[in-house]
């Protein structure tokens, strides 16, 4: 499944460049490639460079992964592995406002109001409902069908994050499940 819509624009760009670095055999990318593919200015390139290194530093690892500009127009990632890319993806996802809203509708909607949840997770109510709209627009795309015409308190079946909320409806030997 493709959940890239859960990232904001800058995080999606950061992740796209990290994935591109990882797929390249030499773990390098040129600034001209960034200009051609992503239409970035020099300031945006510098900000992206810092964002990638901040993400690598946040996930840690041994040896630590980092990005450096070896020559004037060439970026090289050191110690970049698929595992590191996955860790960065999770780290960026945890920071995402859309993921926090998704988490609310999957796990917290019965326990808290939207205003209280938004305040506890440093979101304004406007951002919360804007991200709810994003989830509504992408519900068909993900095949989860999480939030459709009206936001319900439980996720539709198939949401991997909500499997933990399911309990057996029949004796344990049965394969039928119901929502708690």
pTM given for the model: 0.73
* 12/86 same-domain check: yes
Do residues 8 and 68 share a domain? Answer: yes
Q: Above pLDDT 90, what percent of the chain?
A: 53
More confidently predicted of 145 and 170: 145
Q: What pLDDT score was predicted for residue 69?
A: 92
Which of 93, 126, 157 terminates a domain? The answer is: 93
Q: What is the pLDDT of residue 167?
A: 32
- The CA distance from 105 to 48, in Å, is 31
Nearest to 50 by CA among 7, 14, 80, 23: 14
Query: Does 86 lie in the same domain as 44?
Result: yes
Residues 111 and 165 in one domain: yes
- Averaged over 127-155, what is the pLDDT? 62
Residue 180 lies in a domain: no
Q: Indicate if 49 and 104 belong to the same structural domain.
A: no
Does 28 reside within a domain?
A: yes
Instruction: Count structural domains, the chain.
Output: 2
Rama region for 94: left / alpha / beta (φ>0; ψ in -120 to 50; rest): alpha
pLDDT (tens digit, 9 = 90+) per residue, 70-117?
888 899 999 999 999 999 999 999 999 999 988 888 888 788 888 999
Do residues 103 and 89 share a domain? no
pLDDT digits 0-9 by tens, 31-51: 999 999 999 999 999 999 999
Q: Which domain holds residue 161?
A: 96-175
152-170 pLDDT per residue, tens? 444 544 444 443 343 333 3
**Overall residue count recorded for the chain in this entry:** 180
């Amino acid at each position: 499944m493709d959940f890239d819509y859960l990232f904001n624009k800058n995080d999606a760009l950061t992740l796209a460049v990290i994935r591109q670095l990882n797929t390249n055999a030499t773990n390098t990318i040129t600034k001209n490639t960034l200009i051609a593919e992503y239409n970035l200015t020099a300031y945006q390139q510098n900000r992206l460079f810092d964002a990638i290194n901040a993400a690598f530093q946040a996930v840690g690892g041994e040896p630590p992964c980092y990005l450096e500009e070896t020559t004037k127009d060439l970026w090289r990632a050191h110690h970049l592995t698929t595992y590191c890319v996955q860790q960065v993806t999770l780290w960026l996802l945890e920071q995402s406002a859309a993921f926090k809203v998704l988490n609310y509708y999957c796990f917290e909607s019965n326990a808290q109001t939207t205003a209280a949840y938004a305040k506890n997770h440093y979101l304004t109510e406007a951002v919360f409902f804007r991200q709810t709209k994003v989830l509504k627009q992408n519900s068909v795309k993900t095949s989860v069908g999480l939030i459709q015409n009206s936001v319900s308190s439980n996720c539709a079946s198939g949401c991997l994050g909500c499997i933990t909320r399911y309990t057996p409806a029949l004796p344990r030997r049965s394969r039928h499940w119901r929502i708690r």
